[in-house]
Every structure is written in structure tokens, then in C-alpha cells.
Chain A
Amino acid sequence: MFYRENGQFKSSYSADQAIFPIAQDRVFVIGILLVAFCVVPFVINEYWANAILIPLLVYALAGLGLNILTGYCGQVSLGTGAFMAVGAYASFKLVGFFPEVNYLILIFVSGLVTAAVGVVFGLPSLRIKGFYLAVATLAAQFFLIWLFNKVGWFYDHSPTGMITVRPIDFFGVRVTGPEATPAAKYLFTLAIIATLTLTAKNIVRGRVGRSWMAIRDMDIAAELIGIKPLQAKLSAFAVSSFYIGVAGALYFGVYLGSAEPLEAFDINQSFYVLFIIIIGGLGSILGAFLGAAFIVLLPILMKNLMVGGFGVASGTAGHVEILLLGALIIFFLIVEPHGLARLWQITKEKLRLWPFPH
């Protein structure tokens, strides 16, 4: 089946405004979802869940969150690690306070708490832009991590200073801690991420998403059209932080199981998520997934190839990996700021016209 848009006529605006107006895209995405929900859970093992799929999904969600703020609304943030920490600590405290409340609800509330924190730290964006805003969010990063490390209340005064997830059942199925099966953890994460991806797509293709992009592309014109910069920027901070907070809660609860703020949520985490959206594509939902897949899979492939294939020492392989990552980021920043998602789109456009360009 060729990838074709030609000959697919839409007879209503709602059909044209569908998420995937092109039939082949629709089939492709439905296929992936079917495999992800109906096939993978039966074949998944500990390694695939913990080393590949769960981190990929969680990072894709964090990337989605940062992309809303940076890619769609044009506001730079280096506080992603700290906002993930807010989600993680909020879920930790909430599970402690309300052990009988459904975990999903608590994760949702953790997202809301992070959204509120995000709005507070987003306030400077009304006055400052670009590099200066990045520095302001960096301050948020260091302040919040310091807070979680310093104030015993956040980690229930545990002697190690770490937080450890309690065993939680979701409708009778264990989804956290060592007793949870890889399939349960994976499905729980996947369901949340699939839902949030859909809502993100809905938001960015509607009025609110357009107001973010308008602020990003030309804030003066946006204001003269009647878009309130305050509302647009703060709503971007709120939605973005919500996503990052949920990602943080899952990162801690389902993926890590226990966390220590200086390690799990430090500034490197902020850069890691930023790299994901730069490589995947700024201002693209698909980009967050492509970027996350790339950054999670790259070290694994490198290790298999260099250590397994050529017998290079694993330390050296790690250095080469960092070098390669750096080179790629420079490449994407200079050559293709819209990242892998754009490369994918170009390929599709070529296919759409193939073999006869119009």
C-alpha cells in the first residue's frame, strides 16, 4: 500500500481536522497501538520493561511536557529535572497520606501540584525571555532539589534521605515495587502515556495550542490579535509541568522504585529531556517519542556494538556515546531544528508524491 494523500477527499471540516487525516497514518498508528497494548504485554520480560520500554515511555512523556513549553510556546526551561522531582515527591507524600485512594488519581493530583509549582516558576517568563529565562528556571532546578534534600518532611525523615515507593495495587494488580510484574508496570505506564498523548495532541491543535505557537512565533502580533501573553505563557507552564510531574511520579514509582533527589532529578535530567526534544523535534508530539526512543536505545545499541562487537572497554564506549550525542545535538540544532520528526515528515512528503512529483 502506498503512502498517498492524493484521492483522499474530506467532505467535512471535522474529518479534515481529525488527528490523522491521512488514512495510512491512521492505520499505522492503530497498528502500533494494537501491538503495544495487545502483543507486547504477553512477550515482555524484565529486561525489556525496565531497560527499554518503561524508561522510553516515561521520557517520552517528560519530553512531551517540555515540548509543550519549549517547542510549542517557545519558553526555554532547564528545570525539567526538578519538576519531575515535584511530581515524584508529591506522589510519594500523597500515597502516604491517602493509601486507600486510587493510585491513578494520586498521580493525577501529583501532576496538578507540579502544574501549580510550574506556574509559580513560570511567572518570570512574563518579563524575561530566552537565555535569561533559562537561568531563572535553572534557579528553580537548584532550589527545589535543595529543598527536597534538606527538608526531612519530604522524604518522611528516612535515615538515607531517599524515598522508596510503597507497594501499590491498581484495581487489584500490583504496579509498583519488586513484586509488580513487568507486564503490569508496562501496561499501567502505557495507558497513562497513551491517554496524555491524545490530550496533548488535542490541545495543540485547538485554540490554546495556536495561542502558544502564536506567542512563540511573534508575540507582538499575538497580543494585537487579542491573545493574552500572561494567559498563554502560564497555561503552557501549567500544562507542561503537569505532564512532567506525571512523568516524574511514574519515573519514581514505576521505573526506579526508590530515588534520591541529587541523583535521580539533578540538572543532567533536565538536559537529558531537553536533548530528547532537540533530537526528536521541537514542536512535535511524535518528536518526543522519537527522541526518547533514540536516547534510550542509543546507549544500548552502542554497548552491544562496541563492547559486544568490537570488544572495546565499556568505559570507552560510554565516552564515545557522549561524544556522539553531543555531535548529534549540534547537528540537529544547526541543520534540522525540527529533528527526527521533521526528517520523518520529509520522507512522507517524498513518498506522497512518489513517483511523480507534482
Chain B
Amino acid sequence: MTADSRNEILLEVESIFLSFGGVHALSDVSFDIRKGEVRSIIGPNGAGKSSMLNVINGFYHPQEGSITYQGKRRSQMKPHEAALGGIARTFQNIALFRGMSTLDNIMTGRNTKMSKGLFWQALHFGPAKREEIENREFVEHVIDFLEIQTIRKTPVGRLPYGLQKRVELGRALAAEPTLLLLDEPMAGMNLEEKEDMSRFILETNEEFGTTIALIEHDMGVVMDISDRVVVLDYGRKIAEGTPEEVRANQNVIDAYLGVSHD
């Protein structure tokens, strides 16, 4: 990544307001994500982190504010538009297709790259077969990269938690995303699994230049792998900056120590 392209802004959210009935999940949140960086979103439970990702990929529609992605400004994203625009994600509570194998889950991640219609599919011939094999090749790279060759044909419902998280990352990577949203990819993992996952995230970022927005509670990991951090608390942005800056910020320390708000 050159210094120039690093400073280019890939995504910018401005004054986002999102509420559910009386609950203000996000109030006046603005920040940007630069091309090629690892941008972490942190904050205590219920701070609005997952809601923010849901706004970015169009699953939640904010009441106010705008989202500018790849230079195009809109008041809300649509899930399908986000997917086609190269935004992929993993979920806090694993959202794999439980009845399908690892391979099929990751192949499904290639959905936006595949287009051949029902007719050719039914014949499994010509263009459809070629398309299937080309995409399978890409998926095999993802499988090798994540070191999950041995569980290729296993239904994901039967996999242990840590591996499910890895398959979910694979499904997102299969889309060759421009922007990858990771919602607590290491939650509930042991140390070794966390190290593996950190390595995959960093390699994805470095080798493929994928921009990453990461929600994570493990401060050690956040400080290690992020370029910049934004801190949310009670739906508001309370700080942002490099890991060092954020760590030293008094608002952040108060939020994490649970200093009362009044």
C-alpha cells in the first residue's frame, strides 16, 4: 500500500442517527475508513457497534445521516447494493448456512461473481460448468489460506465454534471484498485460535489490500492490529485516533471503567 492510496477515503459516515423505538442505538456518529486500513470500532456492550456495521451494509436504515461509499453518497445502503459494491461481513452470532458444507458455504460467498441462469445450471454444462469450476478454484485458495482443507465437506453445523468463525470469514473472503466488516471475529476463542484469527485478518489486509472494519473486545488484539480506532459509548462517538491516542484518552478510560453519565 502506498502512502497516497492509504489516505484515500473508502467510506465515510456522517451524523448517523439510528433509533429503535425509544432506544437511541446511534446518535450523531461520524467517522471515515481509509482505503487499506484496519479500522477498529470498540466500546462497551450495547454501545452501538454492531448497529454501526448494520448501517454500513444496509441491514439497518438510519433515520438521519449519510453514508458515502466509494465516492457515492446516500442516506442509506441496501444490502444487495452493499454486497455488489464489495462490502462483505461476518456476524457477532455466527450466521452460517448450517445445513451446508464448508465448501458450499464458501461457494455461496461467490454469489455475486456468478451469474449463469437456471437453464445452464439444470444441464450443468457449458457456461454453468465452467463458471462453477472457475469459482471453485478461487474458493480452494480461500480454503488453503484459512487452513481448513480437512473440513471442506463437513456440514458446518457439526463444526466446533472456532472453526465456524473461520468458515464464516472464508465465506466473506470468497466475495473478494473491498471492505470487510468483522463483528467480534474472536469472541469466545481460546488464545491459540485468537492468534490464528489475528494472523488471517492481518494477512488479508496486507496481501489482498482489503480494508477492514473490526469490532473487537480484546484490547490486546485491537491495539496490535488496528491502524486507527473509533470508540463508541451509548451510541455516541467518544474518541478516535491511533491505538495509542485512544488508550490515553480520558473519556475512553471513564467509559470502560463505567464512570456514570450525568
Contact = CB atoms under 8 A, between A and B. Distances in A.
Given A218-B96, A235-B118, A224 B83 contact: yes
B83 A199 contact: no
A202 B123 contact: yes
A214 interface: yes
A233 B104 CA distance: 19
Contacts, number: 98
Given A13-B140, A218-B95, A239-B118, A225 B100 contact: no
B99 A216 contact: yes
Interface in A196-243: 199, 202-203, 205-211, 213-214, 216-218, 220-228, 235, 239
11 contacts: A14-B129, A203-B121, A207-B111, A213-B100, A217-B99, A217-B100, A218-B97, A218-B98, A225-B111, A225-B171, A226-B80
A239 B119 CA distance: 11
B132 A206 contact: yes
Contact of B132 (A17, A199, A218, A221): A17
Given A14-B129, A203-B121, A206-B132, A226 B111 contact: yes
Interface string B26-70: 000000000000000000000000000000011100000000000
B259 to A, nearest CB: 36
Contacts of A224: 57-59, 79, 82-83, 89
B121 A208 contact: yes
Contacts of A202: 121-124
A214 B128 contact: no
Contacts of A63: none
Nearest to B95: A221
B200 interface: no
Q: How large is the interface on B (under 10, 10 to 19, 20 to 34, 35 or more residues)?
A: 35 or more
A283 interface: yes
B109 interface: yes
A227 B114 CA distance: 11
Contacts of B116: 207
Nearest to B112: A226
A225 B123 contact: no
Interface in A29-60: none
B96 A221 contact: yes
A217 B155 CA distance: 12
A203 to B, nearest CB: 5
A182 B109 CA distance: 48
A17 B136 contact: yes
Contacts of B136: 13, 17
B1 interface: no
Contacts of A207: 111, 114, 116, 121, 128, 131-132
Contacts of A203: 118, 121-122
A199 B121 CA distance: 8
Contacts of B123: 199, 202
B121 A225 contact: no
A210 B104 contact: yes
Given A217-B96, A222-B97, A225-B112, 9 more contacts: A206-B132, A208-B118, A208-B121, A211-B108, A213-B100, A218-B98, A225-B171, A226-B83, A226-B112
Q: Which of B98, B109, B121, B140 has the most CB of A within 10 A?
A: B121
A130 to B, nearest CB: 16
Given A17-B133, A17-B136, A225 B124 contact: no
B84 interface: yes
A213 B96 CA distance: 11
